[in-house]
Structure 1
Amino acid sequence: MSDLPVVVAARRTPIGTRSRAFAQVRAEQLAGPVLRATLADAGSATGRPLDVADVVLGNCMGPGGNPARVAALAAGLGVGVPGVTVDRQCGSGLAAVLDAVTAIRAGDDRPRLAGGVESASTAPTRSVDGVPYDRAPFAPAGWPDPDMVEAAEDLARADAITRERQDAHAARSHARARAARDAGRFDAEIVPVGGVLADDSVGRAEPLLPRLRPLFPGGTLTAGTATRISDGAAAVAVVPHRLRGGAAGLVVRGHAVVGCDPALPGIGAAPAVLAALDAAEVRTGDVAAVEIVEAFAAQSLAVLGRLGLADDDPRVCADGGALALGHPWGASGAVAMVRLFSRLVRAGAPAGTLGVAAASVGGGMGVAAVVEVVR
């Protein structure tokens, strides 16, 4: 693996529910401090200042104008550092990291900062012919293009995932996140922004889960088993192996982006994980840590079932997932990578330990990466 790029630093903001903690904070104001902190961490880890070749950020609903470049300037990286913005919807942050890895492996072996950012609170209102809309189509006319909440309900019905299983999964996510927060396992990865020091929703929904009404008549989905729309940013530093120095980190052993039925987009992470495992020539049983973006409890359970994993597998979102922390769309895939970095590198996992990050994507896609600890 001496020729593979290495993730040597990883940071994120606290995650704030839309219109709460970061109600007035723009995308570049979220991403800028995270980029600065990640670059500083990388310099300390490698023992040298890094000359950043590019900033690659995922973003879904931002203001346009290339938020990655705006964030790079806001971070004070200098006018010579470019930026590019990736839109793969909920997989954007992870896709951005993989783009950075691929660029270095392709021969441009200069360091990159990559991740994602979403400010749902300040996202502009979009319209066609003066008519506002919440989101652009994920599929062309004549194809299924369900709202993501409806798609999650359809998936629960198709896989016979009960309300009780969904409630239990959401409660487990909150309990794990609360335990991680109380034990300080988030502290080293969080960059305070605007005086906000911690995720704002951990544990809030857990006591209410059994009392919440279904979102659809006769359905099983509730507000507690659907993640909250959120604001946040996350970033990693990716360096060529020659610049790693003695830094511990993660190398991407295999990755994949796949398509699936747009009528059931929530399952996309499952075939993506299987393809990434094949690319890395490993199996699910070889993996020590898994981070799957929990957009909905039903979606997470459907993915776990297709991967042959138990609902309560301790390797999966061991410190809680998006159901507890929140879901800043364009950043969530990058948050998954930050969490893997904390669970494996910061926690001292031995060299060779494997992890998986994955997300299902609106429109019927999935993205996944298999990482390995190097020391």
Structure 2
Amino acid sequence: MRSAYLVAARRTAVAPRGGAFKAVEVDELGAAPIRAVLADTGITPETIDDVIFGNALYGGGNPARLAALRAGLPDHIPALTIDSQCCSGLDAILLAAERIASGGADAIIAGGVESFSRAPLRARRPRHADDVPQPYDRPPFAPWPERDPDMIAAAATLAERFGISRERQDEFAIGSHRKALQNPPGAPELVPLAHLSHDAFPRVLTRATCARLAPLAGEAAFGVTRATVAVEADAAAALLVVSETMARRLKARRPLRIMSAWRRGGDPAMPGTAPVAPAVRLLAAERIAPARIAVAEVMEAFAAQAIACVDGIGVPESSLNRGGGGLARGHPIGASGAILAVRLWHEMQSEPTGALGLAAIAAAGGLGSVLIAAV
């Protein structure tokens, strides 16, 4: 099997729902980082074999194709949209890497795009002529209602089961915002769009502010609050995934080699811990001690979920989300996994050759995806 490499990684800023990107359609969001990775590498658009994007909210169609055409890629280049909810963006990269490794492609643009602001309203068709459409906020993630909890309630249950106190969740969220403010992403990572060139949500978050917030779910000791839940957001991210031959042809500077990756299902009723098992298995298979991970990008949809994953995988605090995480940025569902990979690529550029990085994300329905890469 051939190796797959990440040779360019760009993203838009992350804007909370109804913010700077409230009027930006999903194809415009997705096109911006596609254009940027093409420009960064100098690869000719005709050389691209495919475009694979994750998306969760668009409501059908093929937004990857729309974004590819909007970005100016030739008509003959195909595009594929996948939906594995929060895992979608990272899964798109994993799928691209598998195609590269199999010899089926040499250059694929992979990533994710999501717009809460422009997502269509959803309703179920009436079953009978005298019924009316039934609006709904989200589809089912498991066929059994008792194993398909609301995600906020699931996070509160996870916090209580693993003994993750409200105070620990608050401190984790405060730290995420602090790191985002102290180590903001630079121009090489972000693509300006709609007059926004920085993540809009990070702020000075204090213990006093956190203490004033009423729980959204859960008992007081382990409750989940607005500070420990990532806000709904709009964003897009794209990476260029190539073969070793293509990386050499492009004279790629410090590419990341994808060492291993894995997707795995877990308990739909406890989705937050789904990345732990695949991460532990991959590290063991590669004979990598968690302490050797120099950069770890772990999704922060909820503070409790992120803490459970970090504890379960064992990555060191010094390597974790060094520029803040989803609690500080926001959670554009289909793009979040790709944003982790973009952050990983840029953080790894300052690491010595041979350094190891990890990206991990959980999704509704009990899904977990993990990637391990070396610079």
State the TM-score, normalizing by the size of structure 1. 0.93
Shift of 1:143: 5.0
Residues 71-120 of structure 1: CA deviation (Å, up to 9, x unaligned)? 10010011111100011110100000010010011112320100000001
Candidates 160, 167, 170, aligned match of 2:163 = 160
Question: Contact 1:254 / 1:279 at 8 angstroms: preserved in 2?
Answer: no
Shift of 1:332: 0.5
Matching of residue 140 in structure 1 with residue 143 in structure 2: yes
Paired residue for 2:371? 369
3-state SS of the aligned residue for 2:86?
A: helix
Quote the Cα distance in structure 1 between the aligned partners of 2:247 and 2:295: 23
Paired residue for 2:199? 199
Residues 309-363 of structure 1: CA deviation (Å, up to 9, x unaligned)? 46xx111101100000111000000000000111012x2x222110000101111
Question: Contact 1:234 / 1:331 at 8 angstroms: preserved in 2?
Answer: yes
Quote the Cα distance in structure 2 between the aligned partners of 1:329 and 1:250: 24
Quote the Cα distance in structure 1 between the aligned partners of 2:218 and 2:11: 38
Matching of residue 177 in structure 1 with residue 213 in structure 2: no
What is the aligned length? 362
Paired residue for 2:50? 54
Give the letter aligned to residue 27 of structure 1.
Answer: V
3-state SS of the aligned residue for 1:314?
A: helix
Structure 2: segments with no counterpart, 5+ residues: 127-132
Paired residue for 1:20? 19
4+ runs of 1 displaced by more than 4 Å? Answer: 204-207
Decide whether aligned partners of structure 1 residues 297 and 217 sit closer, same or farther in structure 2, where only a CA change above 3 A counts: closer
Question: Contact 1:255 / 1:279 at 8 angstroms: preserved in 2?
Answer: no
Paired residue for 2:129? none
Shift of 1:210: 2.5
Paired residue for 2:3? 4
Paired residue for 2:216? 215
Quote the Cα distance in structure 1 between the aligned partners of 2:218 and 2:321: 30
Residues 110-167 of structure 1: CA deviation (Å, up to 9, x unaligned)? 2010000000111011111311111110001365000110100000010111111000
Percent sequence identity is 40
3-state SS of the aligned residue for 1:238?
A: strand
Residues 194-213 of structure 1: CA deviation (Å, up to 9, x unaligned)? 11111110115557222211
Matching of residue 261 in structure 1 with residue 263 in structure 2: no
Shift of 1:39: 1.4
Decide whether aligned partners of structure 1 residues 120 and 279 sit closer, same or farther in structure 2, where only a CA change above 3 A counts: farther
Candidates 68, 71, 92, aligned match of 1:72 = 68
Paired residue for 1:307? 313
Give the letter aligned to residue 214 of structure 1.
Answer: P
Paired residue for 1:328? 332
Matching of residue 39 in structure 1 with residue 32 in structure 2: no
Question: Contact 1:58 / 1:116 at 8 angstroms: preserved in 2?
Answer: yes
Quote the Cα distance in structure 2 between the aligned partners of 1:279 and 1:88: 25
Candidates 66, 81, 84, aligned match of 2:77 = 81
Question: Contact 1:17 / 1:200 at 8 angstroms: preserved in 2?
Answer: yes
Question: Contact 1:290 / 1:356 at 8 angstroms: preserved in 2?
Answer: yes
Paired residue for 1:239? 242
Decide whether aligned partners of structure 1 residues 7 and 119 sit closer, same or farther in structure 2, where only a CA change above 3 A counts: same
3-state SS of the aligned residue for 2:320?
A: coil
Candidates 81, 105, 114, aligned match of 2:110 = 114
Quote the Cα distance in structure 1 between the aligned partners of 2:323 and 2:200: 15
State the TM-score, normalizing by the size of structure 2. 0.93
Structure 1: segments with no counterpart, 5+ residues: none
Question: Contact 2:235 / 2:335 at 8 angstroms: preserved in 1?
Answer: yes
**C-alpha RMSD of matched pairs (Å):** 1.7
